Each structure stands twice: as structure tokens, then as C-alpha cells.
């Protein structure tokens, strides 16, 4: 029951979050820092009040482990963003980030000595391929107007290879962070709400480096068009309303993800998050009326097939159709 509830939180929260974020970015590009700060601050305050009881409750998992986890998270975020300065196109950037399933499986085999069935390997390959297809096609549509002349020479190639190395490192580090979380929960027990609080509270001092940018965006938000909040009836700037919706839906989404980390294996969590990214992409295309080509439908079908294989739905249906007689015969 907990796993199913967490999956619902992830999909509903994150998909609504993507819509609100796109509404923000379309009206005011470059607002990423204030959005991230608001999300972290809201989740940290909620955890400080309801999880740590205003700091009176001691953590079940040692703080040093949370420091390690936050350091990995911060490193991944910075490197992923900085890699764009090395001639990395957005399609390639998104493809690398969608490859987290593969990285998670590889590190799971190397570090945790896990072994998976052939159907699991095939499902991961199909899901990744489907997301790659949709991402490439969507990015082509977005970037078609920004295409320019190609740089020639040896230096641009080296520059690009450095960016590829950075993305590869960030991908493996992200997968390693997921495995580190799985190991912690096996050692200290399941503490999803505690982990949610410390992973968002500890990085808050880092936003002091971005305080000028955050303040400037707050001023711009305050001067946006006023709108009336439907249920409450209060008038507020529309960008602040979009930010409020984004923060709440982000909390719902991230809460679901952290519950999943306590209920499921690292690979399964990665699978759910990856499928959520795919669904968010589809919703973004449909809601904002972006073109949906034949290749998008192909990618959708491939992801759906991979999901069926991973969850063993097809084998369960086949076993149900065969009935108890078939199972008995197989047991003999």
C-alpha cells in the first residue's frame, strides 16, 4: 500500500510540477534559482516543524551520512548545469540524464553484486530507448530555430569531450547516490521523512551565494500581473501563484520519491522517476500544444512495453490465463 501511494504522489505531484514550472519559465526565463530556493526552503521548514519537532528530535541516521548524500547531490547538480558551457547541446544533455536507469543497474552489479533477469535488462533498454527517441524529437522541435554554423578544429572537439566526461561523471555519481541511500536504509532502517528534511535543510546555506539573483527575481515576481486565487479569493502576482503551486507539487513529488527509497530497491525507484520524466514530457507536449510526431508515439509504445516487461505484467497475465492447472504442471 505504501509503495502504490508513493508512486501516485510521484506521478501526480511531479507532472503538475512540470506544468507550473513551464508556466513560470515561459513568462520569466532564468528563474531557476528562486524556484529551487523556494522548494528547498518550504520542504526544510515543513520538516523542521513536523519531523524534527523544532530540532528536538535526534536523527536516526548520523548527520555525517546526510552530509555525504547532500555533497553528492550538490555535485551532480552543479556539474550537470556547468556541462552546458562545453558545447553540449540540450538534446544530448537530456539523453544523458535519462540514462540513469542503465547507470543504476551497472553500479548495482558492480557495488552491490546484484544480478538481474534477462527481461529486466531488456526492459531497461527499451525504456531508455523510448525516452531517448521522444527527447531527441522534442529537442529538435525546440532548437530548430537556434541552429547555427558548426565550429571547426581540434579545440572545439576537446572542449566537447570534456563536457561529455562531465555528464558521464554526473550520471554515475547520481546512480551512486541512489545506491548509497539504499545501503543507509538497510543499515539504519526506513526514515524517508527524516532524509527528506536533511537533504533539503543542509544545502540551504549554499543559496547565500545566489542571494542577489534570488532577490532580483523576487522583485520581478512582485511586479507581475495580479490575479485572483480561485478558492481563497485573494489577489496576488501571478508568478508568485505559479511559484506557490510549483513548491507544493514539488513537495508532493519529492515526498513520494523519498517514500519509494524506503520501500523499493534503488533500480525500481530510478525506474519510477524515469517514467515520471517521460510522462512529464508527454504532458508538456500535449498541454502546451507542441507537435506530437509519429516518433513520439513510437517512443511512447517502446516505454510502455519496457514497463510491462519490468513489472512482469505480461507474465502475470499469461499465468492467470493458463490457470492453476498450468502452474501445477510447471511445479511438477
Binned at pLDDT 50, 70 and 90, residue 146 comes out as very low
The model's pTM: 0.70
- Residue whose grid cell is 551532480: 76
What residues are paired with 228 via a beta bridge?
235
Helix, strand, or coil (residue 78):
helix
C-alpha cell at 308: 510491462
pLDDT digits over 278-293, tens only? 777 677 767 776 666 7
pLDDT digits over 11-37, tens only? 888 888 878 887 887 787 678 788 888
Min mean pLDDT across 37-46, 257-266, 273-282 is at 273-282
- Which of 120-124, 164-168, 243-247, 281-285 has the highest mean predicted lDDT (pLDDT)? 243-247
What residues are paired with 237 via a beta bridge?
226
Contacts of 136 (CB under 8 A, 6+ apart): 91, 95, 295
Residue 111 pLDDT > 60: yes
Instruction: Decide: residue 187, CB within 10 A, 0-12 exposed, 13-18 middle, 19+ buried.
Output: exposed
- Which of 78-82, 165-169, 312-316 has the highest mean predicted lDDT (pLDDT)? 165-169
The predicted pLDDT at position 203 comes to 87
pLDDT digits over 156-214, tens only? 778 778 888 888 898 889 889 888 888 888 899 878 788 889 988 998 998 898 899 89
C-alpha cell at 164: 561529455
Residue 39 pLDDT > 60: yes
Binned at pLDDT 50, 70 and 90, residue 149 comes out as very low
Q: What angle do CA 225, 231, 233 make, to 5 degrees?
A: 50
Binned at pLDDT 50, 70 and 90, residue 41 comes out as very high
Instruction: Write b or e for each residue in 285-317: b if 16 or more Cβ atoms lie within 10 A of its Cβ, otherwise e.
Output: beeeeeebbeebeebbebbebbbbbbeeeeeee
Whole-angstrom distance, CA of residue 86 vs CA of residue 183 = 34
At 176, give phi and psi (nearest 5°): -65, -35
Helices and strands: H and E segment counts in the chain: 13, 2
More confident residue, 194 or 143: 194
The predicted pLDDT at position 226 comes to 93
Amino acid at each position: 500500500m505504501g509503495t502504490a501511494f508513493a508512486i501516485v504522489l510521484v506521478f501526480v505531484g511531479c507532472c503538475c510540477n512540470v506544468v507550473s514550472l513551464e508556466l513560470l519559465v515561459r513568462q520569466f526565463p532564468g528563474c531557476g534559482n528562486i524556484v529551487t530556493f523556494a522548494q528547498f526552503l518550504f520542504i526544510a521548514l515543513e520538516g523542521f516543524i513536523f519531523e524534527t519537532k523544532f530540532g528536538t528530535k535526534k536523527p536516526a541516521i548520523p548527520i555525517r551520512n546526510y552530509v555525504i548524500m547532500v555533497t553528492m547531490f550538490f555535485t551532480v547538480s552543479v556539474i550537470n548545469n556547468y556541462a552546458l558551457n562545453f558545447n553540449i547541446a540540450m538534446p544530448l544533455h537530456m539523453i544523458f540524464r535519462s540514462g540513469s536507469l542503465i547507470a543504476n543497474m551497472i553500479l548495482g552489479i558492480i557495488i552491490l553484486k546484484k544480478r538481474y533477469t534477462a527481461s529486466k535488462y531488456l526492459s531497461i533498454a527499451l525504456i531508455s530507448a523510448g525516452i531517448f527517441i521522444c527527447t531527441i524529437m522534442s529537442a529538435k522541435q525546440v532548437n530548430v530555430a537556434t541552429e547555427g554554423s558548426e565550429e571547426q578544429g581540434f579545440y572545439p572537439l576537446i572542449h566537447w569531450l570534456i563536457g561529455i566526461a562531465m555528464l558521464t561523471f554526473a550520471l554515475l555519481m547520481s546512480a551512486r547516490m541512489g545506491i548509497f541511500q539504499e545501503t543507509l536504509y538497510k543499515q539504519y532502517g526506513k526514515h524517508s521523512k527524516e532524509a527528506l528534511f536533511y537533504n533539503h535543510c543542509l544545502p540551504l546555506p549554499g543559496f547565500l551565494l545566489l542571494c542577489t539573483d534570488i532577490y532580483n527575481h523576487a522583485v520581478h515576481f512582485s511586479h507581475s500581473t495580479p490575479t485572483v486565487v480561485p478558492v481563497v479569493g485573494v489577489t496576488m502576482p501571478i508568478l508568485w501563484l505559479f511559484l506557490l503551486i510549483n513548491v507544493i507539487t514539488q513537495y508532493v513529488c519529492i515526498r513520494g520519491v523519498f517514500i519509494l527509497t524506503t520501500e523499493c530497491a534503488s533500480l525500481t525507484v530510478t525506474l519510477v522517476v524515469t517514467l515520471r520524466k517521460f510522462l512529464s514530457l508527454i504532458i508538456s507536449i500535449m498541454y502546451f500544444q507542441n507537435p506530437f510526431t509519429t516518433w513520439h508515439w513510437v517512443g511512447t509504445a517502446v516505454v510502455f512495453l519496457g514497463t510491462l516487461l519490468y513489472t512482469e505484467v505480461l507474465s502475470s497475465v499469461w499465468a492467470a490465463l493458463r490457470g492453476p492447472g498450468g502452474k501445477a504442471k510447471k511445479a511438477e
